[in-house]
Amino acid sequence: MTAKKSALGRGLGALIDDAKYEKRPVEEAVSTSAIAEIDIDKIEANPFQPRKEFESEALNELASSIKELGIIQPITVKQIGENKFQLISGERRYRASKIAGLKKIIAFVRDANDQGLLEMALVENIQREDLNSIEVAVTYQRLIDECTLTQEKLSERVGKKRATIANYLRLLKLPAEIQVGVRDNRISMGHARALISLENSDAQLKIYHKILNEGLSVRHTEALVREENYPVRKEDAKHKPQELPVQYLSFKNSLNSKLNTKVDLKRSDNGKGSIIISFNSEDEFNRISEILSGN
């Protein structure tokens, strides 16, 4: 795995330079493939934003992350006057950036009236081969937020399975430090997908640092995540079941990897047995069922 210099501790400018987004002057950035740096005090909140309350502790945590790592996912604005802009999406990032004391913020600048062109340009952009996983996830999220597409409609537009799109979108729920690691190719998409199944961000970061320090493979990472999610109790260890034959163990590990969830396989001496596939939410059930059905 090729590791780039860590983005930790570096400023916003360095993060922008590293990103594959093309940074342009505001007047040239009314497109979907370019971003601009905008004075944060020239941006006003969207009056039609349905969400009015933002939990202060979560905003402060995001502000701390932005101070350390910068903006991972640019906000989106529309120009409503000379050197005046209005938010389209990203109000949490906008509010947290103000708390963090940023004077400027990176943003996609677009013509809010040109919906069809925006959708076509974003779909075209997603076909590029040089996008990293975070950039793909950001583009999918923009299509959903700004073009009001469901995941099913998005699946039709880009020709990808819904489960694939869901896996990319889940990357944006990871802590910012891990998103930077994915973007900078410090860890792979496979590592990130394994970490997503941990609900606790501290546990995610603990295993993430272990991946970096020890060069763990995706399979090893998945094993650590399973141990974190399903710790073995002492009383269970005393009654450890008989080890599975090699072909059964291989099948179980393969299914674990394919479904990215816990799979239990039991087999008795007479050849009878059962396979138990675990899921933690309706979304995860839908993802697993789509994989199994090949949709």
User: CB under 8 Å to 1, separation ≥6 — which residues?
Assistant: 185, 186, 187, 188, 215
Of 202, 248, 252, the C-alpha closest to 222 is 252
Strands (E) in 29-83, as ranges, are: 34-39, 43-44, 75-81
What is the CA angle 41-117-126, rounded to 5?
90
Distance of CA 241 to the CA centre of its chain: 37
d(CA 198, CA 174): 10
φ/ψ (deg, to 5) at 17 = -60, -35
Side chain identity at 85, as an amino acid letter?
A: F
Of 72, 130, 79, 55, the C-alpha closest to 106 is 72
CB atoms within 10 A of CB 175: 17
The first and second tokens of residue 224, run together, are 């650590």
Of 112, 135, 190, 187, the C-alpha closest to 22 is 135
**Among all residues, which ones are annotated catalytic?**
91
Cβ–Cβ < 8 Å for 143, 154: yes
Cβ–Cβ < 8 Å for 189, 133: yes
